[in-house]
Chains A and B, each alone.
Chain A
């Protein structure tokens, strides 16, 4: 069964450094999302992406964040200058463009630790 994959599984970085989190969505999916989950808290929406542009973004997704689909398979989240409070689990999700099928499929997540 096709699945969303994410790399790396765990990233440790120093405050102020740039990180890029990578995701490979399910191949025939057209809508892509990033969510984050701070340890012990609920999952929060960051951004959605469709047709090579951002569709929606939350308040969390400020100028330090950017997303890109550099080729036909990868979907990346970049944090330009990481802060301690960016430490969280980051989930990529994708969904198909099938009317009536709106469920999103999540990747296994990347745990980001900012020291």
Chain B
């Protein structure tokens, strides 16, 4: 079974600095998708960034970028120029390939709570 592991329960960063959140996963599939979701105190789940496993290029969305290491099954999130509004829980999620009727439910890690200090 696929698993997602986030080994950092909490992280802290100074405003305007850069922080990296770690995520590793386990799968026997070669085709899959990875996501980072942000959950602020409102508890809404907000998609931050996605990465297709077949793409070698790391995804980037403004201040958010990933370091995708397929062989190591690692998918870390880098937040540059951290802002106070970045403070939230961050969840890494895995989605397997589409076959056998699977509609691709997400498997989540336990999350990392990010604090941003002014």
Chain A residues engaging chain B, CB cutoff 8 angstroms? 31, 33, 35, 37, 41-45, 48, 50, 55-56, 58, 89, 91, 93, 95, 100, 102-109, 111
Min CB–CB distance B45 → chain A (angstroms): 4
**A55, B102: Cβ atoms under 8 Å?**
yes
* Identity of the chain B residue whose Cβ is nearest the Cβ of A105 in the assembled complex: B47
Known contacts A37-B43, A106-B46, then 17 further A-B pairs from the complex at CB < 8 Å, ordered by chain A residue:
A33-B105, A43-B45, A43-B106, A43-B108, A44-B108, A48-B103, A48-B105, A55-B102, A55-B103, A56-B105, A103-B33, A103-B50, A106-B37, A106-B44, A106-B45, A108-B42, A111-B43
Partner of A45, one of B52, B101, B105: B105
Query: Interface residues of B toward A: which range?
Result: 20 to 34
CA distance A55 to B108 in the complex (A): 19
Chain A residues lying within 8 Å of B98, measured Cβ to Cβ, are 102
Chain B residues lying within 8 Å of A95, measured Cβ to Cβ, are 104
The 4 closest A-B CB pairs, nearest first, are A106-B45, A45-B105, A48-B103, A55-B103
Chain B residues lying within 8 Å of A45, measured Cβ to Cβ, are 105-107
**B45, A42: Cβ atoms under 8 Å?**
no
Chain A residues lying within 8 Å of B103, measured Cβ to Cβ, are 31, 33, 48, 50, 55-56
